[in-house]
Amino acid sequence: MAEKNLNIDWRKYYEDHKVDLHTAAMQIKPGDCVWLGQACSIPYALLNEMYTHMEDYHDVILYSNVMNQPVDMLFDPETKKHFRQITTYNLPLERMSIDMNVMECGGMAYDLLQVGPFRYGCDFTAMCMCPPDEDGYCNLGVYGISTSAVLQNDPRIKRRIAIIDSNQYPMTGDPEITRIHVSELDWIVECDHATFAIPAQPPSKVDKDIASYILPYIHSGDKVQIGFGGLGEEILSHLKSIGQLEIYSEVACDNMAALCEEGVLTKIVCSSPGACSERFFKFASEDDRVTFRSQPDMVDPLGIINQENIVAINATFMCDLIGQCCSEAQGLQPYSGPGGSFAYIYGAIRAKNGRSFICLRSTYKDHDGERHSNVVPWLPEGSIVTTPKVYVMYLVTEHGIADVFCKTLKDRIKAILKIAHPDFRQELKDKIVTTPLIKEEDFVGYSLFD
């Protein structure tokens, strides 16, 4: 195990510990649990090398977060004889692999990152990082700081493979979490990976309608938390008309750089880029208005509680008429993961002048083109609940906004019915009155369509 030693000749140490990709890969032994990092910090070349020689491995756990480049081991069921692959959050590549029963969907929210991998005995990291600076420190890069900083610096990590990648962008922030000294690396491989970004989709008509209900609740001086995607793009595009704001969020979006340069955003505090390009990476690495922190720091409900005037905007797939939200799976089909949404949903409702919005499309179409409601009278059997009803403040669809915070079950039902798609409201009401939750007489003087 390498230990930090600032008195050595780090350049000589670097050369003495430099190995090729195959040698580094063969350091992973049976029983090892290896943290691989997130997105562009994942050592994809190392995984391909391991796959090429997978017969040499067995009983190895590979733990990662949001892969954004394909590797063969994700899509080959034979790899299950040699590797157990676990993801904390799913993007399209993970979803395909999970559907093939190769990769496993994790059950850990981001605020438990310093706990989850160690439940599987993680004591090994292998990830990409920036070339060393003049003092021998390797910055963990735009994605490494998010998830890997807390793991790289944990005393339970006994071995480290560093993939030195000149395409990584160094990020600003606390030196204690943004970098690691060469003397702490056991094996060093020089191998560049292509920088890869998943572009955010443009806002749809539904995104624009949902945003129109939220924007009046955002005020100059607020701190905004938002995810990437069409809704996030739509919200951000209207911030100029509101005034100066800050971003305090798990992820940063590409066009936040332009808003910062224009003076609309005075500060961006986040743990990871979302769908960002090299332009954002370069901006973030050079502008001191941008600060990257680790996920356990940024996805800490108690820390979010201390952020006055925070506006949390998150999404869900389905909710029932009392406000329970399913945000990580479609029924029992895993889609994304627990992520960090609950920390912001909970933190925002407890913060001084905080506001929390959970957004969903009112309907979806199945494979046969038949339309169904995403607002249901009660959750189907087997639904995976991400957000309990008591922590929901505002529910928003393209048909309106429902304030259900601390409301009775009857008031919740009445409010949520009015944001369901008009074609399904009567059916939903007819079903919910068959339950002990609310009765027909409770709807006297109430209109589903006013």
Q: What is the DSSP string of 369-432?
A: S-EEESEESSPPTT---SB-GGG--EEEETTEEEE-TT--HHHHHHHHHTTS-HHHHHHHHHHH
Q: How far apart are CA 130 and CA 145, in angstroms?
A: 11
Residues 389-422: pLDDT tens digits?
999 999 999 999 999 999 999 999 999 999 999 9
For the chain, list the domains and their CATH numbers.
Answer: 10-190 (3.40.1080.10), 205-443 (3.40.1080.20)
Mean pLDDT along residues 225-249: 93
- Give every CB contact of residue 226 below 8 A, 6+ residues apart in sequence: 232, 235, 236, 247, 249, 253, 313
Q: In 212-248, which positions are buried (b, 16+ CB within 10 angstroms) versus exposed (e)?
A: ebbeeebeeebbbbbbbbbbbbbbbeebeebeebbbb
Chain centroid, CA 210 distance in Å: 21
Q: Is 357 exposed, middle or buried (0-12, 13-18, 19+ CB in 10 A)?
A: buried
Per-residue pLDDT, 201: 80
Q: How far apart are CA 174 and CA 291, in angstroms?
A: 9
Residues 93-125: pLDDT tens digits?
999 999 999 999 988 888 888 899 999 999 999
End-to-end CA distance of the chain: 68
Q: 139 phi and psi, to 5 degrees?
A: -70, 140
Q: How far apart are CA 214 and CA 217, in angstroms?
A: 6
Per-residue pLDDT, 405: 98
Q: How far apart are CA 369 and CA 109, in angstroms?
A: 34
Per-residue pLDDT, 279: 85
Coil/strand/helix, residue 231: helix
Instruction: Give the tokens for residue 61.
Output: 């756990």
Q: How far apart are CA 428 and CA 255, in angstroms?
A: 39
Per-residue pLDDT, 270: 92
Q: How far apart are CA 447 and CA 449, in angstroms?
A: 5
Q: How far apart are CA 127 and CA 129, in angstroms?
A: 7
Maximum average pLDDT range among 88-97, 165-174, 227-236, 429-438: 429-438
Coil/strand/helix, residue 441: helix
Q: Are strands 363-365 and 371-373 parallel, antiparallel or unpaired?
A: antiparallel
Per-residue pLDDT, 198: 67
Per-residue pLDDT, 231: 93
DSSP secondary structure code for residue 325 in this structure: E
